[in-house]
Structure 1
Amino acid sequence: MPSYASRERAALVEALRGAGPDAPTLCEGWTTRDLAAHLVARERRADSGPGLVLGPFSGWTERVRRGYAAKDYAELVRLVETGPPLLSAFSLPGADSAANLTEHFVHCEDVRRARPGWAPRDLDAGLQGALWKVVTVRARMFFRKSRVGVVLATPDGRRHVAVSTEPSVTLTGEPGELVLYAFGRTTHARVTVDGDPDAVRTFEGTPLGI
């Protein structure tokens, strides 16, 4: 059975093909072509990786990405679909599931939710469980800049303390929606934020994402 990361790759490819090369995404300033180029560069050009998180290297990362963006869009999406080459670190056993589940899920929604009339996908319980594991394991990192406590909750009663301090806010949504919120897609995630009004206002000014 394909991994959840592989299934989300397929969903992302379908979204990219359906949208075409010039559609907007939730990644500010990026079209679907730009996003596809980012995905390909990330898996095929390890030298461009540091610039994704380290400012001094970002210029080179952007140069590599633009080189891929100049390719034919159909070819670019095919490279996303076929995945990393054998010599890529993403081809190591377990690397795809560890590194690509949220990458593919979030970027699939970046394409889908930038279009009018979008609705959340109906994700199966297994995928929701995998996304819950991701958002709880990495919760401290996602919400590290919060000046108030943060509790994650799902409609079926699961709870996880991401930041243990008072006052606190509670974020409630399905695991996939909480992942999107944690990655900074706050205005397009179906998540409610509850708590003391002052705590909510403080929290809503918190920068989120990696």
Structure 2
Amino acid sequence: MSTHAKRERLLLADLLEAAGPGAPTLCEGWKTRDLAAHVVVRERRLDAAGGIMIGALKGRLDRVQGEFTAKPYEELIQLIRTGPPKFSPYSLKQVDEGANAVEFFVHAEDVRRAQPDWSPREVDPVFAESLWRRLEKAARLMGRKAPVGLVLRRPDGQTVVAHRGTPVVTVTGEPGELTMFASGRQDAAKVEVDGDAEASAKAIEATLGM
């Protein structure tokens, strides 16, 4: 596994273990047990994971995820730590980095930021650049349902357009915070939102993410 994906995987496993199976997360309706089951199913049950993106397969996904949710919590944590089986495409280094580094970063923050005593996390500059590069590629997809124009802006002035339209709302923050905002965690992202009041409220309440 690649450095960023492996680090975020292990951090997520540690956070889930420390929180216990019944802790809240930023994922609506999910406790930590549900989130752990989702992570395991996504990379170990490809026959069901398609339901994450394809509505017609959601019934199968729900059944399989229910089965994994019923497993001992400690077993789920260990499956996350050990990573995908060799037959999974996620076991390939490039696939792991491309598909899991951001996924695990967001889910680790889903656990951290749902706790009342959370504080901003330092993201190392190399990983921050990696998060930004992925935002540049995925922003239009993540922002496709925004009801207003949406621009993501780094403090150094670099921008990416997540959705074209008017009025325009500009969201400024570090790459990790912009990743959380664009992933649908607007309320938990440490960002500045600039635009008229009504448009800004719509951006904060919009359905964003993959």
TM-score, length-scaled by structure 1: 0.94
Q: How does 1:61-76 map to 2 (within 5 A)?
A: 61-76=61-76
Task: Give 2:10's aligned residue.
Answer: 10
Task: Give 1:32's aligned residue.
Answer: 32
2:133 pairs with 1:133: yes
> d(CA) in 2 for partners of 1:106 and 1:119?
15
> d(CA) in 2 for partners of 1:51 and 1:2?
26
Task: Give 1:155's aligned residue.
Answer: 155
What stretches of structure 1 of length at least 5 have no aligned partner? none
* 1:91-111 Cα distance to aligned partner (Å, 9 max, x none): 124110010011100100111
> d(CA) in 1 for partners of 2:75 and 2:116?
26
> d(CA) in 1 for partners of 2:42 and 2:96?
12
> Partner letter of residue 113 of structure 1?
R
Runs ≥4 residues deviating over 6 A: none
Task: Give 1:184's aligned residue.
Answer: 184
Residues 17 and 204 of structure 1: CA distance in aligned 2, closer, same or farther (over 3 Å): closer
Shift of residue 200 of structure 1?
2.2
TM-score, length-scaled by structure 2: 0.94
> Partner letter of residue 118 of structure 1?
W
Shift of residue 82 of structure 1?
0.5
Q: How many residues align?
A: 210
Task: Give 1:122's aligned residue.
Answer: 122
State the SS of the aligned residue for 2:36. helix
- Name the stretch that deviates more: 144-153 or 54-63: 144-153
> d(CA) in 2 for partners of 1:205 and 1:104?
23
> d(CA) in 1 for partners of 2:67 and 2:12?
21
State the SS of the aligned residue for 1:160. strand
Percent of pairs with identical residues: 50
> d(CA) in 2 for partners of 1:148 and 1:7?
35
Task: Give 1:44's aligned residue.
Answer: 44
Residue 147 of structure 2 contacts residue 203 of structure 2 at CA under 8 Å; is this kept in 1?
yes
What stretches of structure 2 of length at least 5 have no aligned partner? none
> d(CA) in 2 for partners of 1:69 and 1:163?
36
State the SS of the aligned residue for 1:102. helix
Task: Give 2:81's aligned residue.
Answer: 81
* 1:159-205 Cα distance to aligned partner (Å, 9 max, x none): 22333444311101110011111110111111121023343244334
Shift of residue 2 of structure 1?
4.8
Shift of residue 147 of structure 1?
3.5
Residues 89 and 73 of structure 1: CA distance in aligned 2, closer, same or farther (over 3 Å): same
- Name the stretch that deviates more: 64-73 or 82-91: 64-73
> Partner letter of residue 169 of structure 1?
V
> Partner letter of residue 110 of structure 1?
D
Residue 187 of structure 2 contacts residue 204 of structure 2 at CA under 8 Å; is this kept in 1?
no
